Structure 1
């Protein structure tokens, strides 16, 4: 399997799926996803750290409490270091380094926490600095206190070599990208469900939610089922609307019923495909027209100052001119539902 199939560019992921950098950062922290950059062929990788090894007196491997660290070429607080003899393909950068890249376009570092190498049968295999330091101490059983990976020059193995990393140099494993995509989709769904557009009244927002709750998976097969559904919708809306009129609640329930169950003499005209695609498949024509009227009236209201009676008349005229066959009762109820009360 090629590396291209195992990893994906973070830049490509963000662009293709419209994911923000803040959403990416949240997912990285939530799922502990490593960010990868390619390990240049011009560097060597060393592990450096401190460890407590019981019953061993070798100073370079032991960090005795209250005893000063011996230090390594990479960190004065470390006691032991060694070259990592793996064919390393990727190194993992910290979230702090990613934030630098996000803010400034690039970063320069020689300090890493994990590396990734190809292992036959297992694909891209992860190894942390802690694991590599512990492995290098064998057969001694050490308790790792601190460990990091450092890059050095191949010419001067003890001389730190920093790597320049830009946004286009960052990758994540494909399996991790799927988790980020799913998380972003769930977040967007939640925002859409809970965010009310500025042109929607609170009542219309609740009517749209009722359609999603009661109609999206409904299959009405009899008049009894139709009446039971209307009753459930009315009860739900009664607790959500800021008005309690029996007729208005019933008309609101009619408005979200599937077209074939509206039971009014309706037109055979179909809504423009471009308009229909803006709404869920289960949205009735009446509900789409009501939303369209609300959006149109709101846009007009931003241009001129109108009193409430004038706006109500305009809503009624708009729906009457739709020529779809909405009853006068439903149109009147829709005008009440659409109406945006003035906010102080």
Structure 2
């Protein structure tokens, strides 16, 4: 894939690296590649970051044919920059696109595009502790037409922004509300994809949770509203009586890259990992019986989010005294150690940007 470059006349001022927040400051450039039915993917380019022209009849605005991904670039102590399992994001996007009848962007081109943009923006990769460059690949239909069908044209784009911790509280345990009315995904739907519609539909649950003093929502299955699935922005795992439980990725749960990485680590450490359905009633009972030892969410943005409290209806369970568990901390330290190059990568997960 040849990538042309369009130079920006004036570079942006860099933000305060010690106060980045998450998703606030876009870098100088973005990647764009176009697709149409006649010639496929073409005109790959890195251009100044800024607004894009969109027809008001653009099909994405009306029918939400859109997918996205999220990954990070990390600056190591030796100054080099590396990615973490970018090929998994590429493959997951292909699966998302297939479900939404969108063209596949090849894995090798996806990784090459990410590396090219990060290399261009290497001055934006922060070096402060726990900071990184967040990378947002996304694709959307560009055909201007009213009518529900597979579009004739699409754009694949990548944005970057330097970020700090996803949660302002860092690794402090979060409180989670179990949603008992609304559902996020159903069998045969788009729950396993990373598409904007999944997140738009989850906002109502998030608003409800925040009104009750909770930071996230734990969704139950859409059929029986009985089995725990995932949190709004991450997968979730439960340590019950020494074993790890997490929902299976069988169509309604996003197959998280961080989730997969944690499962590798846990199995190598000798833990039994049960990718099985877990009833919310059994989970709450385990909490009251003292068998629910740790709960943590997993995702690219936050890496790990310890959970200190679960509320289901009027029933509340406090986990590990509301403190971060020993295993949760070990997983966080190990995975971030690999991502930032502080620990050896024995799995071949990292790729240098050079």
The two structures have a TM-score, normalised by structure 1, of 0.25
Rg (Cα) greater in structure: 1
Q: Please state which structure has a larger fraction of its residues in strand.
A: 2
Q: Please state which structure has a larger fraction of its residues in helix.
A: 1
The two structures have a TM-score, normalised by structure 2, of 0.24
